[in-house]
Amino acid sequence: MLGIFKIAYKLLVNDRAKFAALLVGITFAVFLMIQMTSLFSGVLSRSSATVINIGATMWVMDPAVQTVANSIPMPDYVLDEVRSIPGVKYAVPLYSGGALAKLRDGTYQFVTVMGLDDATLFGRPRLIDGNIQDIFAENGFIVIKDAEFAKLENPTIGTEFELNDHRVKIVGIGEVATSGLFGVPTLYTTYNRALQYLPNTRFTASYILVEPKTASDAAVIAGRVHAMGYLALTKDQFIDKIAAFYTFRTGLGTNILLMTVISFIVGLSISGQTFYTFIIENLEKFGALKAIGAKSRELVAMILFQAAFTALTGYGLGIGLCAVMIWLARLRIPDYAAVITFPNIGLAFAMVVIIAGISSYVGVRKVLTIEPFDIFRG
């Protein structure tokens, strides 16, 4: 049986031009599919960065909130009511907003400011330099060292700049798990200082972070919050809600889907078409093999082998190309959002299997219907 596959391999690979066209078709399709979907995955995970970094179990928010960055402030009584719900272990406010920093050279830089509950500092980042207690010192802010850090001129402890005409003093350098989508540096301070520095409405809390006593309390809390006219989501629900917003309410999801479908169709047509010509060109020879005594299932095995070999090679090249592209992009844009995830790779694999399946189905049908008698007759 091995010899048959060796013959199949040689028939395929020795036809340099067609083999190259097949590989280009599949590689291109896989590359585009993975590139598109991994960019999408990257964007989605970035869009929930705050939710992941803060790490609260439950989030209470205005029902109209669609993404974590666009919070809608809630009146103070909501915090008190949430605290009185049975099943709530503790609840703290979170401030999330944006401000303009005026750097020493006089340029302005937009920053995200997170205000942490003064009593607990719940959701604080891991510090790589400085002391967390210094956040209570005069003008104390912590800066996150991520890809956007340089936009604040690489501050160190003691660096000062202006924020909305207030003085800021960096007292700590922190790090977080996921960086954000918008390419903006992030500062942390206390809730009260955030309110003081940043303009706000009558209402103040962007989110209320809730820790239920037990996992089963989450549903009860959600129900009670709902009755108050607000929305309580678990961390995963909130991430899903944000993902759904970017996927369905912006052009992003549709465009990615469209690009994925187009790359699939292009890949399918290039590879399918080339494989078809390849089979047609060798059809008489396959018929001659039948006349000599090859069994149909052996010919089918040869064709499936050729399709599988091409598909897997193209798949590997496509993934490799994609990894190289992302690596190159990271050299220029350190915070380039694309991440290759297993679902991306799996989706591309499924599409490659479909491409190979359709291409070889056509070939197999042709080879099965060829009559050795017609070959014999010439």
Could you give the maximum distance between any two Cα atoms of the chain, in Å?
Answer: 98
21 binds other proteins (CB under 8 A): no
- Find the shortest distance in angstroms from Cβ 10 to other proteins: 6
* Through-space distance between the first and last CA atoms of the chain, rounded to whole angstroms: 29
301 binds other proteins (CB under 8 A): no
Q: Which of residues 187-216 bind other proteins (CB under 8 A)?
A: none
Q: Which of 252, 294, 312, 323 binds other proteins (CB under 8 A)?
A: 294
Q: Which is nearer to other proteins, 73 or 287 (CB)?
A: 287
280 binds other proteins (CB under 8 A): no
64 binds other proteins (CB under 8 A): no
Would you list the DSSP string of 268-328? HHHHHHHHHHHHHHHHHHHHHHHHHT--HHHHHHHHHHHHHHHHHHHHHHHHHHHHHHHHH
Q: Which is nearer to other proteins, 16 or 202 (CB)?
A: 16
How long, in residues, is the chain? Answer: 378
Site map 319..358 versus other proteins, x via CB under 8 A: ----------------------------------------
Q: Is-contact 57 218, C-beta < 8 A? A: yes
10 binds other proteins (CB under 8 A): yes
292 binds other proteins (CB under 8 A): yes
Q: Which of residues 215-274 bind other proteins (CB under 8 A)?
A: none
Q: Which of 208, 270, 289, 351 binds other proteins (CB under 8 A)?
A: 289
Q: Is-contact 204 96, C-beta < 8 A? A: no
Q: Which is nearer to other proteins, 1 or 215 (CB)?
A: 1
- Find the shortest distance in angstroms from Cβ 321 to other proteins: 27
Q: Which of 157, 259, 266, 288 binds other proteins (CB under 8 A)?
A: 288
3-state SS, residue 85: coil
Q: Which is nearer to other proteins, 9 or 136 (CB)?
A: 9
**Which pair of structure tokens corresponds to residue 3?**
């010899």
Report the chain's C-alpha Rg in angstroms: 29
Q: Which of 3, 86, 158, 199 binds other proteins (CB under 8 A)?
A: 3
- Find the shortest distance in angstroms from Cβ 25 to other proteins: 20
Beta carbons within 8 Å of 255's beta carbon, 6+ residues apart: none
For residue 217, the one-letter residue type is D
Helix (H) or strand (E) holding 154: none
183 binds other proteins (CB under 8 A): no
The alpha helices in the chain, defined as continuous H runs, are 2-13, 16-47, 49-54, 76-84, 191-197, 217-227, 235-244, 251-292, 296-332, 342-369, 372-377
- CA distances to 3, 73, 147 from 184, rounded to whole Å, are 61, 21, 9
Q: Which of residues 355-374 bind other proteins (CB under 8 A)?
A: 372-373
DSSP-derived letter for residue 125 is P
- Find the shortest distance in angstroms from Cβ 14 to other proteins: 4
284 binds other proteins (CB under 8 A): yes
116 binds other proteins (CB under 8 A): no
Dist CA 233 CA 59 (whole Å): 5
Backbone angles phi, psi at 213, to 5 degrees: -65, -50
Q: Which is nearer to other proteins, 204 or 306 (CB)?
A: 306
Q: Which range touches other proteins (CB under 8 A), out of 26-34, 84-92, 238-246, 280-288?
A: 280-288
Q: Which range touches other proteins (CB under 8 A), out of 57-65, 183-191, 232-240, 294-302?
A: 294-302
Q: Which range touches other proteins (CB under 8 A), out of 8-16, 54-62, 238-246, 312-320?
A: 8-16
- CA distances to 158, 163, 191, 192, 328 from 167, rounded to whole Å, are 12, 6, 16, 15, 39
Chain positions contacting other proteins, by CB under 8 A: 1-4, 6-7, 10-11, 14-15, 282, 284-285, 287-295, 298, 372-373, 375-378
